[in-house]
Amino acid sequence: MLGLLRRSLAAKLAAGYLLAVVGLTTVVGLLLLRQLASHALAQMETSLVTHAQLMAQALPVAAVSPRDRPALQALASSWARPADGRVTLIALDGTVVADSGVPEAALAAVENHDGRPEVQAALAGRVAHAIRASATVNQPLFYVAVPILRDGTVAGVLRLALPITQVQALLGTVRRTLGVGLGVTAALIVLVSLFIAWRITRPLGAIARSARAVAGGALNTRVRVQGLDEVAQLGQAFNAMAGQLETKIQELEASRSQIEGILHGMTEGVLAVGPDERILLINPAARGIVGISPTLGAGTPLVEAIRDPQLQSLVRAGLASGSPGAQDLTLYAPAERHLTVRVTTCICTPADGPWRGLHSPRPPGGRCVLLVLHDVTEHRRLEQVRRDFVANVSHELKTPLTAIQGAVETLLDGALGDPAHARPFVGSIAEEAARLRRLVEDLLTLAQVEQRSTTPAREPIALAPFLEAEAARHRTLAEAHQVSLTLDGPVAGLSLTADRRQLSQAVGNLLDNAIKYNRPGGRVVLRAGAQGDRLRIEVEDTGLGIPPDDLPRIFERFYRVDKGRSRETGGTGLGLSIVKHVAEQHGGTVSVESRLERGSCFTLTIPLA
């Protein structure tokens, strides 16, 4: 019961109402009982005084004296019988002369009454009363004593007494009535207070349930508000608070999603480390760059996630100094990567920092480090390619120019006047000039196909006539190298949309290489066929083959497997690079399979449409 009172507001209100009403009713009942008792006793006193005074005046003796006892006893008994009371006649010395409640024979044994308060007052000429239990009749009585006056002198005392049981019975009835009324009132009060408490606590309970729902994540929960009282105002305030909370949570979610989207979309790696050297956040780019397992994330110690000592030292230096900086690093696991790492530090508290609004642990207070990892591996590779390209172009230009310069100097030194000696030098100049022209043409072609913004001049091409023309164009070269060239494959009816000049350049370069790097008596097969929605063109030869170590680099510019033979055949080292870029311009690919001394097979795959 006490537990219910402590937990239930309705029980508290009902108990409060009940205690207040019961207490008030009890006080009012007690006051009413006291008032009723006083009123009843006052009426009894008035009645007794009146009757006693009448009896005293009607007493037929001059004074109350024991010698008149028989007559006075009979008179007292006769007066007492109709009133159902007790009449006592007392002499001036306090002797009981007559008493209707005591037999005449026993009057002599009755004690003297001059010590009774009401008797003393009456002997002094005053009317007096008293309430006490009678030792003679053994019951509570209401006594009224009046003086018996004769010629203005007190001649004795007449005392009239009535039992107060009637008053007590009346008061008992009133008490029972009040008790019943009090019980009924208490029951009604309990019911009414429970109803009132229910009316008050029902919306409070709804607000409490809604608050628990909001705390559980149901931010769209609202309270149904009725009326204009304080509870309704509380419900309105709760609804306003829930609405603002929902808006703020949505804004935070949107902000978090935006930040996470930005972090996930960044090509740079972002890594935040707390003062305890644990990862606070990491984006997918950083995982890929550093090689962190997907199972390791926020909260993982740095030394477990990143094994590279350089990066660990950089983080520790940032935590120790708090100074921003940048450093170039080379990571060798999971793959060799060149990085530029920018370090930013901040003082982080659990309520701020780059992890705010993100699904990441709250860091302890202290200095945090934010690393931005720029993967410059491709940039470094392109720089190296550019340097190699400049060096290769310089070398490729220098060789024929040196030969031309040597021939010209020889001619100028006197060979020009001797036609027989001049012809070989002029032929050398012409050969080297042709080589320069091929190099420049290949460079221009490569520059054109490398421009991604340039759209190929596509046109419908019937495949069979196109491949037959390419084969025919290279038969003379094949015969010169004693190599057989055949066209194979179901190409009848096939057509595609492509840049005819670029496609011819690519297929021609593959045929050139297959013929020039073949052996006398070797074979070159040109075949084509549809593979789904793509065209597959293969050039297979029985030449020298390509070493496995050289295969990954054969499509690089100026890369030659056999540099000496390339110069003998007049190659520029740009042919396969042009083939690769033509394939990419058309949304296709080029690949190679080769075995030393067995030959190679180059495959060009491009969309038909």
Which residue, 102, 110, 74, 72, is CA-closest to 86? 102
- Residues in a beta bridge with 485: 524
Residue 236 domain flag: yes
For the segment 273-301, the average pLDDT, to the nearest whole number, is 78
- Residues in a beta bridge with 88: 99, 159
The Cα 424–Cα 406 span in angstroms is 12
* SS3 label, residue 526: strand
Q: Are residues 249 and 276 in the same domain?
A: no
Residue recorded with tokens 């590279």: 308
Residue 7 domain flag: no
pLDDT of residue 359 exceeding 50: no
pLDDT of residue 325 exceeding 90: no
Residue 178 domain flag: no
The string of pLDDT tens digits covering residues 139-149 is 788 889 999 88
Tell me, rounded to whole angstroms, the distance of Cα 106 from its chain centroid: 102
The residue that leads in pLDDT, 297 or 254, is: 254
* SS3 label, residue 563: helix
In Å, how far are 7, 18, 186, 194 from 201, measured between CA atoms? Answer: 12, 17, 21, 10
Q: How many domains does the chain have?
A: 5
The string of pLDDT tens digits covering residues 434-467 is 777 766 776 676 666 666 556 778 899 998 899 9
Q: Are 97 and 91 in contact (CB under 8 A)?
A: yes
Q: Are 315 and 300 in contact (CB under 8 A)?
A: no
pLDDT of residue 70 exceeding 80: yes
- pLDDT at position 450: 67
pLDDT of residue 314 exceeding 50: yes
The string of pLDDT tens digits covering residues 175-193 is 788 778 777 877 787 787 7
In Å, how far are 396, 401, 480, 502, 543 from 428, measured between CA atoms? Answer: 16, 11, 21, 31, 29
The residue that leads in pLDDT, 525 or 32, is: 525
Q: Are residues 282 and 271 in the same domain?
A: yes
Q: Which of 357, 375, 393 is the last residue of a domain?
A: 375
- pLDDT at position 71: 86
- Which residues are within 8 A (CB) of 569 and not within 5 positions of it... i.e. 6 or more apart? 516, 517
Here the CATH number for the domain that contains residue 345 is 3.30.450.20
Q: What is the DSSP track for 13-51?
A: HHHHHHHHHHHHHHHHHHHHHHHHHHHHHHHHHHHHHHH
Q: Are residues 346 and 483 in the same domain?
A: no
Q: Are residues 436 and 470 in the same domain?
A: no
Q: Are 411 and 426 in contact (CB under 8 A)?
A: yes
Local confidence band at 602 (pLDDT 50, 70, 90 cut-offs) = very high
The H or E element containing residue 339 is: strand 337-348
Which residue, 204, 180, 194, is CA-closest to 16? 194
Name all contacts of 6-14 with Cβ < 8 Å and 24+ positions apart.
8/201, 9/197, 9/200, 9/201, 9/204, 10/194, 10/197, 10/198, 10/200, 10/201, 11/197, 12/197, 13/193, 13/196, 13/197, 13/200, 13/201, 14/190, 14/193, 14/194, 14/197
Residue 129 carries which side chain, given as an amino acid letter? H
pLDDT of residue 118 exceeding 60: yes
For residue 140, is the peptide bond before it cis, meaning its omega torsion is within 30 degrees of 0? no
Residue 193 domain flag: no
Q: Are residues 436 and 503 in the same domain?
A: no
The H or E element containing residue 186 is: helix 165-215
Percent of the chain with pLDDT over 90: 11
Q: Are 51 and 162 in contact (CB under 8 A)?
A: no
- Residues in a beta bridge with 279: 273
Q: Are 463 and 535 in contact (CB under 8 A)?
A: yes
pLDDT of residue 352 exceeding 80: no
> Residue 238 belongs to what domain range?
219-265
Of 86-100, 168-182, 477-491, 500-514, the range with the lowest mean pLDDT is: 168-182
Residue 1 domain flag: no
The Cα 283–Cα 264 span in angstroms is 6
- pLDDT at position 589: 93
- pLDDT at position 365: 57
Q: Are residues 335 and 346 in the same domain?
A: yes
In Å, how far are 98, 101, 109, 154 from 105, measured between CA atoms? Answer: 10, 12, 9, 27
Q: Are residues 514 and 600 in the same domain?
A: yes
What value does the mean pLDDT of the chain take?
79
Residue 64 carries which side chain, given as an amino acid letter? V
Q: Which of 417, 449, 481 is the last residue of a domain?
A: 449
Of 113-127, 245-259, 319-333, the range with the lowest mean pLDDT is: 319-333
The H or E element containing residue 488 is: strand 484-488
- pLDDT at position 572: 65
- Residues in a beta bridge with 326: 342
Q: Are residues 598 and 479 in the same domain?
A: yes
Q: Are residues 150 and 88 in the same domain?
A: yes
Residue recorded with tokens 């007794």: 48
* SS3 label, residue 328: strand
- pLDDT at position 490: 64
The Cα 77–Cα 89 span in angstroms is 11
Here the CATH number for the domain that contains residue 413 is 1.10.287.130
Q: Are 25 and 182 in contact (CB under 8 A)?
A: yes
The Cα 441–Cα 211 span in angstroms is 78
Residue recorded with tokens 């931005």: 372
Q: Are 336 and 322 in contact (CB under 8 A)?
A: no
Q: Are 269 and 283 in contact (CB under 8 A)?
A: yes
Here the CATH number for the domain that contains residue 486 is 3.30.565.10
Q: Are 339 and 328 in contact (CB under 8 A)?
A: yes
Q: Are residues 274 and 237 in the same domain?
A: no
- pLDDT at position 453: 53
The Cα 63–Cα 52 span in angstroms is 16
pLDDT of residue 215 exceeding 70: yes
Provide the b/e sequence for 370-380 (b: ≥16 CB within 10 Å).
Answer: bbbbbbebeee
pTM of the model: 0.44
Residue 494 domain flag: yes
- Which residues are within 8 A (CB) of 446 and not within 5 positions of it... i.e. 6 or more apart? 557, 574, 577, 578, 581
Number of residues in the chain: 609
Number of helices (H), then strands (E), belonging to the chain: the values are: 15, 17
Q: Which of 265, 289, 321 is the last residue of a domain?
A: 265
Q: Are 318 and 325 in contact (CB under 8 A)?
A: yes
pLDDT of residue 154 exceeding 70: yes
Q: Are residues 467 and 602 in the same domain?
A: yes
Q: Are residues 252 and 284 in the same domain?
A: no
Q: What is the DSSP track for 263-322?
A: HHH-SSEEEEE-TTSBEEEE-HHHHHHHT--TT--TT-BHHHH---HHHHHHHHHHHHH-
Residue 102 domain flag: yes
Residue 26 domain flag: yes
